[in-house]
Structure 1
Amino acid sequence: MINSRVPGFRNLTTGERRDTIAAQPAIGPEALTVLDPDAGLTLEQADHMVENAVGVMGIPVGIATNFTVNGRDLFVPMATEEPSVIAAASNVARMARGNGGFTTSRSTPLMQAQVQLLDVVDPQAARLRLLEAGPEIVELANAQDPRLVEIGGGVREVLVRLVPSSRQTYVVLHLVVDVRDAMGANAVNTMAEAVAPRVAEIAGGRSLLRILTNKADLRLTRVRAVFDAGQLGGAQVVDDMVDAAELAVVDPYRAATHNKGIMNGITAVVLATGNDTRAVEAGAHSHAVGPDGRYTSMSHFEKDRDGNLVGTMELPMPVGLVGGATRVHPVAQANVALLGVQSAAELADVIMAVGLAQNTGALRALASEGIQRGHMSLHARNVAVTAGATVDEIDSVVARMIADRAVRVEAAEAFLAELRSGAGQ
């Protein structure tokens, strides 16, 4: 069984970190081989994935430690260029371990496709005609993907909405599809294309758009965790974190940045596993718009009877293990194997846990020392490298920049010159 609690992991060298992970049961040394830049995505593979390929772009992949999700420890691969994300998620995951870590639940993996109908002269009656023809439409749609039906998926329901606009009232048919372990875009798009002519005929109009919606509000994953007040910094820090989170609930200006912090964690895991970051982000942000049309927080925080912080979140999480880059990109395959998840639902659970952890870490920083202290400490390493510091010089330059509160390239260059001048004496 994996133990994701590795004290001092951040202080190890890259090689030592890899050896530590590879030594865990069910992982092995070969699991990380493909993470070497010269062993990852080839130019030939890239050319098959996108049009007009000219190369590949590397993004750092780090490992978030300390995560326990539904009673199971795991190492979480995260692909991100932002310095503080992985450290914050790992630190907060450690604080949740004593209370059982992260607990998740979810709905059925339902995705929806829309067929937009124009020039319908009797929209109300057309809606009823389409609903009456529901069994026929379901049968036609399911015929497009018999394998999906075989494994328990397929169309579950036909919905019809009337959407008024300044142009006309559109009749919009929704296919609600259980996509199982796929993200589902290709499956539902194919179904929408197939049923559109018959749907238009029944409605007495013509079809225009035939495509999925990324507002995946029927495919929800929920996560909750309890964070120890003492480890967070005490009762006052907990109170301040709750108030900081509440501002994001009531103020869309704060919500935008608050939710960006959540997506820092979510997008890093989605990207690392070869899933569609844009689809996940679109679904999450659209879900953050409340019934009143106001953009609000994706997460919620409160105190329990013991004064500990309780964090909860519920979001659409349309990710898959079947198809797409997850099955093509060698690094994505390695990262999925490292996680050890067996289904799209399990992957969604992990992603949500990381999002909540990252959000909690940002709130804690804001409610205590401020966001810049930890962020700039990690950012300083990038600045030192930009200034030309070698591996042996980075720590000294970083320490000097932080002590002088001057995390800037020109300051790093000056400190580096002093360091080298002293070394030459």
Structure 2
Amino acid sequence: MTVNSRIPGLKDSTPEQRRALVAERTGLSADEIGVLEPGSGLDVEHADHMIENVIGVMGIPVGIATNFTVDGRDHLVPMATEEPSVVAAASNAARMARAHGGFFTSDSGSVMQAQIQLLDTPDPEGARLRLLEAREEIVASANEQDPMLVKLGGGASDLSVRLVATRTGTHVVAHLVVDVRDAMGANAVNTMAEAIAPRLAEIAGGRSLLRILTNKADLRLVRARAIFDRDLLGGDDVVENIVHASALAESDPYRAATHNKGIMNGITAAVLASGNDTRAVEAGCHSHAVAEDGRYTALSHFEKNTDGHLVGTLEVPMAVGLVGGATKVHPVARTAVKILGVTSASELARIIVSVGLAQNLGACRALAAEGIQRGHMSLHARTIAATAGATTTEMDLVVKRLIDDRTIRVEHAEKVLAEIRGGN
């Protein structure tokens, strides 16, 4: 079904009203949207089948980012995060991009790599060439491990070999290249690596040690770009300031670390909501931020086009899937995927990277315009008011006082709350 991701006033609705609106827009049943109600999502029985030594479950707020148009199609994006302003900033940035068609994406395919580490080879250079000579045999052997993946159009397609100088000598490292289709791919490539390792060791004349995928998924890149409207951003000065801030992040690793954290605020929240592996994605993204000269740099870039609007671009590895893992097991993840309306891992990855770019723009705009604290103030004040014990009916009054007094601390919130209750 066609989804309109523009929902004005969603922030002013109650959680129950928001769930009803999302269900209406996405065609979810009462049972499907109901798993987002506390106590109805992941129960201990399901959790006990997911990890070891389960003692309970821990809730993370799940919000809906609105206004996203990705490659001409609207999406409502579930985001799981505890940090205030993330969902709001992504939604607001998506609104600014919407005026110019939203986000436009591309990817390099669903390709992952397994590494097989070979030790004690007497002639590393010779071993490298012998392994490459046996490429067809090795690829065929790997594909025997997963005929279903091959049937779906995926499977092993290539073998490369690197010589890596280490403090314990030269290691021969074989890379098995595998198209994992709609899976994240860890299980598939690890199984193949385990199966071919003995033959690789025999050919190399040594022994195999590590046999596992690499999370540096630089053959599984996803790219997103968008034009953020100059007037919606706040004018020419804001555009110029964001470009200057981006330039610093590209050149200074101290700024780049925080700049990229802003990107990951969006990416990790969307990855987590969909039940994918946040640690794998984060490792891949941060490894991609290391330039060829070894310097850590910004993952995104912001430039001004000839019309004075801001052009944002982002390219990162994005190893996410729709089959296997928690995506199919966790009831909230299943509902999140249905809200997104995606049918392939590529489509999911493109949306996630678009969210990362939007979140990054939101943070950069706040820094370039009024400063990050002003943007955080209202949401942070709500958190402080809740910590002080404010009820739903008291919340707005306490938040207003905290902001007006410019003192957003728990002890002050407790004092304001006591005054409000004393006045009643």
Please give the range of the TM-score, normalised by the shorter of the 2 chains.
over 0.9
**Distance (Å, rounded) in 1 between the aligned partners of 2:324 and 2:295:** 35
One-letter code aligned to 1:296: T
**Distance (Å, rounded) in 2 between the aligned partners of 1:341 and 1:111:** 21
One-letter code aligned to 1:297: A
SS in 2 for 1:73: strand
Aligned to 1:58: 59
SS in 1 for 2:25: coil
Q: Is the 8 A contact 1:23 1:29 kept in 2?
A: no
Aligned to 1:49: 50
Shift of 1:115: 0.3
One-letter code aligned to 2:134: A
Aligned to 1:380: 381
Aligned to 1:125: 126
Question: What does 1:205-284 correspond to in 2, within 5 Å?
Answer: 205-284=206-285
TM-score by length of 2: 0.99
Aligned to 1:362: 363
Report the number of matched residues. Answer: 423
**Distance (Å, rounded) in 2 between the aligned partners of 1:72 and 1:108:** 20
**Distance (Å, rounded) in 2 between the aligned partners of 1:271 and 1:281:** 11
Q: What's the CA shift string for 1:331-378, capped at 9, x where partnerless?
A: 100100111100000000110010000000000000011001121210
Which ranges of structure 2 fall in alignment gaps of 5 or more residues?
none
- Percent identical across equivalent pairs? 68
Aligned to 1:297: 298
Q: Is the 8 A contact 2:26 2:341 kept in 1?
A: no
**Distance (Å, rounded) in 1 between the aligned partners of 2:32 and 2:351:** 19
Q: What's the CA shift string for 1:155-175, capped at 9, x where partnerless?
A: 111000000112110000000
Q: Is the 8 A contact 1:31 1:338 kept in 2?
A: no
Q: Is the 8 A contact 1:221 1:352 kept in 2?
A: yes
Shift of 1:138: 0.5
SS in 1 for 2:183: coil
Q: Is the 8 A contact 1:107 1:219 kept in 2?
A: yes
Shift of 1:16: 1.4
Q: Does 1:306 align with 2:301?
A: no
Shift of 1:17: 1.1
Aligned to 2:169: 168
Shift of 1:27: 3.5
Q: Is the 8 A contact 1:397 1:416 kept in 2?
A: yes
Shift of 1:90: 0.4
Q: Does 1:177 align with 2:155?
A: no
Question: What does 1:12-161 correspond to in 2, within 5 Å?
Answer: 12-24=13-25, 26-161=27-162
Shift of 1:25: 5.3
Q: What's the CA shift string for 1:259-309, capped at 9, x where partnerless?
A: 000000000000000000000000000000000000000000101110000
CA distance 1:284–1:25, shift in 2 (3 Å): closer
Question: What does 1:325-340 correspond to in 2, within 5 Å?
Answer: 325-340=326-341
One-letter code aligned to 1:145: D
**Distance (Å, rounded) in 1 between the aligned partners of 2:60 and 2:109:** 33
One-letter code aligned to 1:20: L
**Distance (Å, rounded) in 2 between the aligned partners of 1:27 and 1:67:** 19
One-letter code aligned to 2:146: D
SS in 2 for 1:66: strand
**Distance (Å, rounded) in 1 between the aligned partners of 2:52 and 2:31:** 31
TM-score by length of 1: 0.98
Q: Is the 8 A contact 1:217 1:316 kept in 2?
A: yes
**Distance (Å, rounded) in 2 between the aligned partners of 1:216 and 1:419:** 55
Aligned to 1:11: 12
One-letter code aligned to 1:318: A
**Distance (Å, rounded) in 2 between the aligned partners of 1:409 and 1:99:** 42
Which ranges of structure 1 fall in alignment gaps of 5 or more residues?
none
**Distance (Å, rounded) in 1 between the aligned partners of 2:314 and 2:332:** 29
Q: Is the 8 A contact 1:111 1:184 kept in 2?
A: yes
**Distance (Å, rounded) in 2 between the aligned partners of 1:221 and 1:103:** 11
**Distance (Å, rounded) in 2 between the aligned partners of 1:149 and 1:23:** 38
**Distance (Å, rounded) in 1 between the aligned partners of 2:51 and 2:28:** 31
Q: Is the 8 A contact 2:112 2:189 kept in 1?
A: yes
Q: What's the CA shift string for 1:91-141, capped at 9, x where partnerless?
A: 110111110000100011110000000011100000000000001100111
